Structure 1
Amino acid sequence: MEVAGLIYFCYTICITPAKDRRLPMIKNIVILGAGFGGLRVALNVEADIRRYLRGSTPEAEEWKVILIDRNPYHLYYPKLYDIAVPEGAEPSPAIEIREILKGTRVEFVQGEVQRVDCKARVVEVTPSPDLRSSSPEGVEDGPSERRPRGGKGEGLSYEYLVLALGADTDFFGIEGLQEYGCTLKSVSDAQKIRTMIEQFLKVPDKKLEIMIGGAGATGVEVAAELAHLFRNISRDRWSVTIVEALPRILSMFPLALSQYAHLRLERLGVHLMLDTCIKKVDSAHSREIATSPTAPRNDGAVIEVILAPRPLKPGEKEEELTCEFLPEHEKLVRADLLLWAGGIRPNPLMAQCGLPVDKKGRVEVDEHMAVRNLENVFAIGDNAFLLDPVMKQPVPAIAQAALLEAKIVAENITATIKGRLMKLYPFPKFPAIVPLGNKDAVALVGTHVVRGFSAWFLRQAADFRYYNSILPWWRAIKLCFFR
C-alpha cells in the first residue's frame, strides 16, 4: 500500500500542470512598533502559530509575522536613567531586535511607517533616516531582518494589523520648551544629559542647575538619582529642582506613597515647586542680545525659564495654592539643563490615517483590543483608548498594561484564525514601583505601600523578569546585575 501511494503521488505531480501547482498565498500579521507591546505580540503570535497551527491546519504555512520599527533595537525605558546619570560604567538598555528574535520566524523590517490604509489593508514603510545613509542598496541583511530599499515607500499588505507605535512627548504648546528643553525618550537623549553632567564634574568651580518639568515617575526617579550622584559634592555647587503643576508629586498614586517620595527627595536636597507651571523657555543669550546687542555672550547651555502659578480650578482660591511666589505671579529662573517629563501624546499617525480616535488622539478599541469598526485591526499601549467600565478611567499607559494587552491581542489573533471566540481584557490593577536612589524605592502592590530596600528589590526582580521573558536567562542576569 505504501508503494502504491508513493506511485500515485509521483503520478499526480507529473500530470499536474506547473501553473496549477502554485505556492499558497502568504498572509501577513503586521505589527507596527517594537516596544513593550509590539514585541510581545510578535513573539506570542509566532509561538502560537508554531504550537497550534502548524500541522493542524493546511493553511498554517501561509502565515507570516512581520515586526516593523524605525530602530534596530528594543529599548527598555525604565533603565534609560542609568545612562543619563554617570555613576559607574555606562550601561545600555537597548537590545538588538535581531538578538531577541533569534530562533523565531518573525521577520523584522527596519523602517518608518508613513501611512496605514485600512481599506486596502496596506502599510507603507520607508527606510529610517539613519538607514538611507548607513545602509546602501544591495547590502544583505540577516535571515530574520529586511529593510525597505531606496527612498520610496514599500507597501506591505496585511491580514491582521497591530498598532503599537508608542507615544511622543507632549510639550503642551509651551513656547521654547521643545527647542531649549530635553527629554529622556531615547539613548541619544540620555547620552546628552550624561555628557553635560560629566563635564560639570570635571570643573571644580562651576555650579550646575538642573530643572525637571513634571513630577511623575520619570521626573521623580531622575531627580532622586541625580541628587544621590551629587551627595558628596557641596550643595552650593548644584541644585535639582522639580516643577509640578499639581499640588503633590506622583499624583497618580495614593497619598502615602506620594508623601514618602516627597520626604525622600527633600532629604536628598531636591527642591520641589508645586502648583507651578512652566510658562516659557528661552536662551539666556537671546535675552541678553535683545536687551543689549553688545553684551558679551553667555554660556550657550544656560536657559531661562519663566514660571507661573497654575490656573485656578472653578471655586478655588489663590491662597490655596502651594506655589512659593504667588505675590509676583511670575518668576524668572536660570538653568543649565531643563529635562521635560511632563507628559506624552499618542503618535499623530493614528489620527492622520483616519482611524477612530478620541479627543486626545488615542485609537478607540473594544474589550478585545480590536479597533472599533475595523476588521482584524488591533491597537495596544499608548496608542489605545479603552475605558474601564467599573473605575470609569482609561487603562493606564504603562508597560505592564501594554504587555497584558499584547498577550490578549496575540491570543485573539490566533483565536480568530482558528474560528474561536476572542478573549476580553480583564482590567486588573497593576503594581507600581518608583526608585528613589541608593537602593531605595516606593511601591504600590495591590492596596499596600512598600517602602525602602524591599521596594527596590521588587524593582530589580521586575527588571529581571522582563529581560528573561525576551532573552535567555544567562543574558538576563548579565543585563540586570553585571553591566
Structure 2
Amino acid sequence: MTDILVLGAGYTGTAAAIRAAVKTRRLGGRVTLVNASPRFTERLRLHQTAAGEHLADHSLRDVVAGTGVEFVAGRVAALDVERREVRLDDGRVLGYDKLVYALGTVTGDSVPGVREHAHTFDDHRRAVRLAERLDALQEGTVVVAGGGLTGIEAAAELAEAHPRVHVVLLSRGRPGAMLGEGARAYLEAALERLGVEVRGGVEITKVLPDAVELAGGELVRSDATLWTGGTEGLPMAAESGLTVDARGRIVVDSALRSVSHPDVYAVGDAAAVSQRFGVLHGTCQGGIPTGLHAADSLTATLRGRTPKGFRFGFVHQPVSIGRKDAVIQFTRPDDSPRRAFLKGRAAIVYKEAVSSSPLATYKLLKRGLVPVGLFSLTAGLK
C-alpha cells in the first residue's frame, strides 16, 4: 500500500484527493483527506455568507463518499517532512508515503491591528462573524481594505445586502486595475450605483477598533473593517524545512513536487507554480487544475513513469457585483486583459457557468473523467 495524505479540503485539496483515489486504486493507493472543519466551504462565496446569505451546507464525508477516500477531521499542527508525519492539534499523528499540501494561504497581517481588529475571509466561521456584526450594526460605516477581486466583490455584496450601511473601499492602487478600460469603467459605475465610496491611491498604516489610519495620519471611521489586502502561506511549510518563496508558498517543479522534498506535492494557493509568464497568483482558475495535475503526477510516479509538466493559461477574470450584476474580463494566458468583456445579465450567466459549485466537477472526477469547463476550463491536462 502507498499512503497518500492530502492536507486541506478546499476546492483544490478535495479535487486532488478524489482524483488520486480513483487513479491509484489499482496501484495500492490509500488516500486520507484531512481538514479542520467537517464541512465543505465554498471560499469563493464567502462574501455572500458575510452579506447574510445562507448557502447550502455540504459534509466533506458526503462529498468524497464512494471514492475510497478516508476523511479525517482535525487541524494540522505540525509537519515533519523527514519522518513523513503530520501531527494534528489533538495529538494524533498521521504517517504518509506521499503528501499533497493544499492548506492554502491566510490573510497577511503585516499592518498593525489587522489580526486584532479586522474581519477576514480565512474561513467560513470568520465570514459568519462579519455577517453577525453587520446584522447587529444595521447602519454605520464598513471599510473594505484591498482593491483586488475579493475586495471588490465583498464591497459590492455588502453594499447591496445592507443599503443603510456606508461601504468604503480603500486600495493602494486603482480598484479593478487588473481589468481592461471598458470593464473597469463598467465596474466603477456599478460600484457608484450601489453607493460604494471608492478611494484609490491610499495606504493603510494601522487598523484600529473603530477606524483605519492612513499614511499621513488621516483616520477613516469604521464600525467594521474587512481586510482583503493580500495573503501569505502558513508558517508551517517553512518551519518544516520545505523550500518556500517570499510569501511562504512551497516552491515546486513542473510536476508540482516540492523542489526540496519530492515526496511532497503542493497545490493551489499554497504553491509557487512557475509558468513561462511568471509565478501563478492564487485564483480558482488555477486551483483545481493544480490539484488534478498533482494527482496525475503522483500516479505517474507510482507507475514508474516521468510526470508531465504542468501547463496553464488564464482565460478570464469573472467579477460579481452583488447578486444582480457582474463583469467578465477575458484575458491572455498571462492574465493581462484583452479588449473583450461581458457585462450585466450575460456576465451573470457566464460567471455562474464557470464558477458554480464544484460538486458537479467532483462527481465527474469520481467517474474517472477529466472535467471540461467549470473550474478546469484551462487545466491543460493531457
Q: TM-score range by the shorter chain?
A: 0.7 to 0.9
2:135 counterpart of 1:198: yes
Contact conserved, 1:41 with 1:407, CA < 8 A, in 2? yes
Q: How far apart in 2 are the matches of 1:333 and 1:464?
A: 36
Q: Equivalent residue of 2:225, what SS?
A: strand
Q: Equivalent residue of 2:122, what SS?
A: coil
Contact conserved, 2:77 with 2:87, CA < 8 A, in 1? yes
Aligned length: 357
Contact conserved, 1:77 with 1:93, CA < 8 A, in 2? no
2:231 counterpart of 1:344: yes
Q: Indicate the residue corresponding to 2:288 in structure 1.
A: 403
Contact conserved, 1:34 with 1:68, CA < 8 A, in 2? yes
Please list the CA deviations of residues 126-158 of structure 1 after superposition, one character each: whole Å capped at 9, or x if unmatched.
33xxxxxxxxxxxxxxxxxxxxxxxx342x222
2:123 counterpart of 1:216: no
Q: How far apart in 1 are the matches of 2:128 and 2:29?
A: 40
2:358 counterpart of 1:426: no
Contact conserved, 2:40 with 2:59, CA < 8 A, in 1? yes
Q: Aligned partner of 1:229: which letter?
A: A
2:123 counterpart of 1:186: yes
Contact conserved, 1:250 with 1:258, CA < 8 A, in 2? yes
Q: Indicate the residue corresponding to 1:241 in structure 2.
A: 168
Q: Indicate the residue corresponding to 2:112 in structure 1.
A: 175
Q: Indicate the residue corresponding to 2:262 in structure 1.
A: 375
Contact conserved, 1:370 with 1:378, CA < 8 A, in 2? yes
Q: Indicate the residue corresponding to 2:379 in structure 1.
A: none
Q: Aligned partner of 2:39: which letter?
A: Y
Q: 1:443 aligns with which of 312, 328, 331?
A: 328
Please list the CA deviations of residues 85-109 of structure 1 after superposition, one character each: whole Å capped at 9, or x if unmatched.
13xxx42354210110111210111
Q: 2:100 aligns with which of 162, 168, 172?
A: 162
Q: Indicate the residue corresponding to 1:254 in structure 2.
A: 180
Q: How far apart in 1 are the matches of 2:36 and 2:158?
A: 30
Counting aligned pairs with the same residue, the percent is 29
Q: Shift of the alpha carbon at 1:181?
A: 1.3
Q: How far apart in 2 are the matches of 1:110 and 1:349?
A: 19
Q: 1:229 aligns with which of 141, 144, 161?
A: 161
Contact conserved, 1:75 with 1:93, CA < 8 A, in 2? no
Q: Shift of the alpha carbon at 1:471?
A: 5.1
- CA RMSD for the aligned pairs? 1.9
2:30 counterpart of 1:64: yes
Q: How far apart in 1 are the matches of 2:92 and 2:31?
A: 20
Q: Tell me which moved more, 103-112 or 437-446.
A: 437-446
Q: Indicate the residue corresponding to 1:104 in structure 2.
A: 67
Q: How far apart in 1 are the matches of 2:134 and 2:260?
A: 50
Q: How far apart in 1 are the matches of 2:167 and 2:67?
A: 46
Q: Shift of the alpha carbon at 1:190?
A: 2.1
Q: Indicate the residue corresponding to 1:276 in structure 2.
A: 202
Please list the CA deviations of residues 284-309 of structure 1 after superposition, one character each: whole Å capped at 9, or x if unmatched.
xxxxxxxxxxxxxxxxxxx022112x
2:271 counterpart of 1:305: no
Q: Indicate the residue corresponding to 1:114 in structure 2.
A: 77
Higher Cα radius of gyration:
1
Q: How far apart in 2 are the matches of 1:267 and 1:95?
A: 35
Please list the CA deviations of residues 371-430 of structure 1 after superposition, one character each: whole Å capped at 9, or x if unmatched.
1132322111111112222x2x21121122111111111111111111222111112124
Could you state the TM-score of these two structures normalised by the residue count of structure 2? 0.88
Contact conserved, 2:318 with 2:326, CA < 8 A, in 1? yes
Contact conserved, 2:42 with 2:357, CA < 8 A, in 1? no
In structure 2, runs of 5+ residues without a counterpart are 332-337, 365-382
Relative to structure 1, the CA distance from residue 214 to residue 117 in structure 2 (aligned partners, 3 Å threshold; closer, same or farther) is same
Q: Shift of the alpha carbon at 1:278?
A: 1.4
Could you state the TM-score of these two structures normalised by the residue count of structure 1? 0.70
Q: How far apart in 1 are the matches of 2:323 and 2:254?
A: 41
Q: Indicate the residue corresponding to 2:373 in structure 1.
A: none
Q: Indicate the residue corresponding to 1:32 in structure 2.
A: 7
2:298 counterpart of 1:413: yes
Q: Equivalent residue of 1:405, what SS?
A: helix
In structure 1, runs of 5+ residues without a counterpart are 1-25, 54-59, 128-151, 202-206, 284-302, 309-328, 473-483
Relative to structure 1, the CA distance from residue 170 to residue 421 in structure 2 (aligned partners, 3 Å threshold; closer, same or farther) is same
Q: Indicate the residue corresponding to 1:326 in structure 2.
A: none
Q: Shift of the alpha carbon at 1:122?
A: 2.1
Structure 1 segments (4+ residues) deviating >6 Å: none
Q: Shift of the alpha carbon at 1:438?
A: 4.1
Contact conserved, 1:257 with 1:443, CA < 8 A, in 2? yes
